[in-house]
Each structure stands twice: as structure tokens, then as C-alpha cells.
């Protein structure tokens, strides 16, 4: 399997020198919903690659378990991806530490509790706990979240590098509102907002309270949020609960880090855990 292909032709071939790995991920990212199956033609149309290229790369992905091919010829995401993704420390490790806290919040509120991490200038939803009668939400586990448009995204954005934050502000439809929400996170430790519901079949208005999960040296390792129907979901009780939950998750993450005790200089006392 070579790393590059020849120069593109007018038939729509990929750019010169585009690595095979990049094209493989272009195919994998065409899947947008859980359980979705796509035909060869749909894969080609969504990825912008010729059918011959799609057929060859898809066959290789099936061989390694990243894709599976059904009897009708359509492709679905394979279990091989799940096996690898479950090892990601920023996703699975954080999820394992956060899940008990999220379950408590979910039990009390009976609404959506979301956990996400930042990946570049987007968020990735790592976990979502939902009651059967909770208001519908837009984002699925593993889905990408715009940093400047959602409560949990803004919580993640508050700990992002300056260039990422400035880029989001430059693209924002309401940059002044985004600045105010980022200032709220810095001031109160939470982001609380009410907005129109982007999902049909639910209430017209939804509320979100989100907070960053603090890491070492002022970093942000993730964020959690509570999504509730109506304009009253940003009440003080929810803000306190979410803020308290992030601190509990941060302590759990530190307790799971097997490296930290070994790095403590000999003869020093253990630092107080917060």
C-alpha cells in the first residue's frame, strides 16, 4: 500500500500526493449517524473520491476491520475502530473517571448530561446520558461539536489556546455574546445560556449549563453540561451542581493517573488533592 498516488486527472482524482491515510479517513468520516450504512456510490459522492479509489480503500478497511460490508453490498463502520478508539486516554480514560459523577447528575435531573473533549477547533462528544423522555439533542457520542455555538463547546473554548479562541470569535455570528459567555466561564466557572432548539420534535427553547473540567497547571481536559427543556434550566442549583461535578471529576482523573506518585521527589510530602 503506497503512501501517495499519482497526480490528479480531470476525472476528479484526489489532490497530488494526498496520503492514503488521509483518504481512508475521508471515507470513514462520511459516516454521520450511528448504524448508518452507505453504498459504494454514496461513499464516493460524500468523500469526493472516484469509485475505483473508494472500492480499493474500502476493501483495505474491511480487511483490517475498520469497515464491514453487508450482504447487500453496503458498508458500515467496523468493530475494529471501536476496539482502537476505546483505548484513547482523552476519551475513554476521562469517561471512566467522569461516568459515576455523570450518573449521579443524570439520576437527579433526568435530563441530558454530556461529556466532551476538545480536538483542535472542535469538540468531540465522549459520552451522553439521557432519560427516555429527555428533550432531543443534536449531537451523538463521537460527533463533532462547534466550540462557539454550544454551552459545552464554550466551556471547552475557555481553555483553548489563544489562536483557537480568536478563530472562533472571528467566525462567530455574535462575537460579543460569545465574549460575554467566555467571561462568565472565567468569572463563575460555568457557562449558562438559553437558545432556540435546533432539533425538531422537542421544545422551542432549551437551556444549557456547562463547565470546564480543570487539569494540571490551569489546563482544561474536558467539559460537562446539562441540557434541559425551556428557559429555566440555567438556575443556580444547576450551575452549582455542574461546577461541583467538574471538580469531582478532576479529582477522580488525578486519582487514576499512575504516573503522578512516581514523579514526586523523594523525601517530599504528598500534595493535598483538590
Q: Is residue 223 part of a domain?
A: yes
Checking if the pLDDT of 132 tops 80, the result is no
**What is the value of pTM for the model shown?**
0.65
- Of the pLDDT bands very low, low, confident and very high (cuts 50, 70, 90), residue 152 is very high
Checking if the pLDDT of 226 tops 70, the result is yes
- If asked whether residues 120 and 241 sit together in one domain, one would say yes
Q: Is residue 13 part of a domain?
A: no
- If asked whether residues 100 and 211 sit together in one domain, one would say yes
Residues facing residue 127 across a β-bridge: 115
Q: Is residue 264 part of a domain?
A: no
- If asked whether residues 176 and 215 sit together in one domain, one would say yes
* Structural domain ending residue among the three candidates 46, 68, 83: 83
Q: Is residue 101 part of a domain?
A: yes
Checking if the pLDDT of 180 tops 90, the result is yes
Checking if the pLDDT of 33 tops 90, the result is no
- If asked whether residues 187 and 250 sit together in one domain, one would say yes
DSSP assignment string, 187-246: HHS-EEEEEE-SSTTS-SEEEEEEEEEE-GGG-EEEEEEEEEESTTTT-HHHHHHHHHHH
Q: Between 82 and 12, name the one with better pLDDT.
A: 82
Mean of pLDDT values over 240-268: 68
| pLDDT > 90 in the chain, percent | 31
- If asked whether residues 147 and 198 sit together in one domain, one would say yes
Checking if the pLDDT of 221 tops 70, the result is yes
Q: Is residue 33 part of a domain?
A: yes
Residue 34 carries which DSSP code?
Answer: T
Q: Is residue 106 part of a domain?
A: yes
pLDDT at 16: 52
pLDDT at 13: 54
- If asked whether residues 134 and 54 sit together in one domain, one would say no
- If asked whether residues 31 and 104 sit together in one domain, one would say no
- Of the pLDDT bands very low, low, confident and very high (cuts 50, 70, 90), residue 9 is very low
- Of the pLDDT bands very low, low, confident and very high (cuts 50, 70, 90), residue 233 is low
The total number of structural domains that make up the chain: 2
- If asked whether residues 117 and 157 sit together in one domain, one would say yes
- If asked whether residues 99 and 51 sit together in one domain, one would say no
CATH of the domain at 102: 3.30.450.40
Structural domain of 38 = 20-83
- If asked whether residues 135 and 175 sit together in one domain, one would say yes
Q: Is residue 265 part of a domain?
A: no
- If asked whether residues 78 and 149 sit together in one domain, one would say no
Q: Is residue 159 part of a domain?
A: yes
| Cβ neighbours around 221 below 10 Å, total | 22
CATH of the domain at 46: 1.10.10.10
Rounded Cα distance between 140 and 111, Å, is 15
* Structural domain ending residue among the three candidates 83, 108, 138: 83
Checking if the pLDDT of 195 tops 80, the result is yes
Question: Helix H segments across the chain?
Answer: 20-28, 40-47, 51-64, 79-85, 94-109, 151-157, 162-171, 175-188, 236-256, 260-263
- If asked whether residues 50 and 168 sit together in one domain, one would say no
Amino acid at each position: 500500500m503506497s503512501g501517495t498516488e499519482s497526480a490528479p486527472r480531470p476525472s476528479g482524482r484526489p489532490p497530488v500526493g494526498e496520503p492514503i491515510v488521509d483518504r481512508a479517513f475521508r471515507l470513514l468520516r462520511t459516516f454521520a449517524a450511528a448504524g448508518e450504512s452507505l453504498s459504494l456510490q454514496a461513499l464516493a459522492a460524500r468523500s469526493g473520491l472516484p469509485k475505483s479509489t473508494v472500492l480499493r480503500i474500502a476493501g483495505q478497511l474491511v480487511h483490517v476491520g475498520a469497515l464491514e460490508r453487508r450482504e447487500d453490498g453496503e458498508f458500515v463502520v467496523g468493530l475494529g475502530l471501536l476496539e482502537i478508539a476505546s483505548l484513547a486516554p482523552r476519551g475513554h480514560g476521562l469517561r471512566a473517571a467522569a461516568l459515576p459523577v455523570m450518573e449521579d447528575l443524570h439520576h437527579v435531573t433526568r435530563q441530558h448530561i454530556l461529556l466532551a473533549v476538545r480536538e483542535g477547533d472542535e469538540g468531540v462528544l465522549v459520552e451522553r446520558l439521557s432519560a427516555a423522555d429527555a428533550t432531543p439533542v443534536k449531537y451523538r457520542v463521537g460527533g463533532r461539536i462547534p466550540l462557539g455555538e454550544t454551552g459545552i463547546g464554550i466551556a471547552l473554548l475557555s481553555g483553548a489556546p489563544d489562536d483557537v479562541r480568536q478563530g472562533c470569535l472571528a467566525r462567530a455570528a455574535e462575537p460579543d455574546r460569545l465574549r460575554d459567555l467566555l467571561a462568565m466561564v472565567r468569572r463563575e466557572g460555568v457557562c449558562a445560556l438559553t437558545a432556540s432548539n435546533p432539533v425538531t420534535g422537542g421544545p422551542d427553547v432549551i437551556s444549557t449549563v456547562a463547565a470546564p473540567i480543570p487539569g494540571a497547571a490551569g489546563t482544561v481536559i474536558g467539559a460537562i453540561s446539562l441540557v434541559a427543556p425551556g428557559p429555566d434550566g440555567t438556575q443556580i442549583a444547576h450551575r452549582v451542581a455542574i461546577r461541583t461535578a467538574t471538580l469531582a471529576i478532576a479529582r477522580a482523573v488525578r486519582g487514576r493517573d499512575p504516573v503522578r506518585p512516581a514523579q514526586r521527589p523523594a523525601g517530599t510530602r504528598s500534595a493535598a488533592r483538590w
